[in-house]
Amino acid sequence: MAKVSRLEVVDDIDHKQLADETVEFGLDGFDYEIDLSSANAEILRADLNRWIEAARPGKRRHRARFVPRGDVRAWARKKGYTVPAAGRLPKELLEAYDKEHQPPTR
Domain ranges of the chain: 8-63, 64-106
DSSP class of residue 19 equals P
Per CATH, the architecture of 8-63 is what? 2-Layer Sandwich (3.30)
Q: What is the pTM of this model?
A: 0.52
What's the CATH superfamily of 64-106?
Answer: E3-binding domain (4.10.320.10)
69/100 Cα distance (integer angstroms): 15
> Residues 78-102: what's their mean pLDDT?
85
Counting every residue written for the chain, the total comes to 106
Contact by Cβ (8 Å): 36, 13: yes
Greatest Cα-to-Cα distance within the chain, rounded to the nearest angstrom: 60
Q: What is the mean pLDDT of the chain?
A: 85
Read off the pLDDT band of 105 (50, 70, 90). Answer: low
> How buried is 85 (Cβ within 10 angstroms: 0-12 exposed, 13-18 middle, 19+ buried)?
exposed
How many helices and strands (H and E) does the chain possess?
A: 3, 2
Asked if residue 37 lies in contact with residue 18, where contact means CB atoms within 8 angstroms, the answer is yes
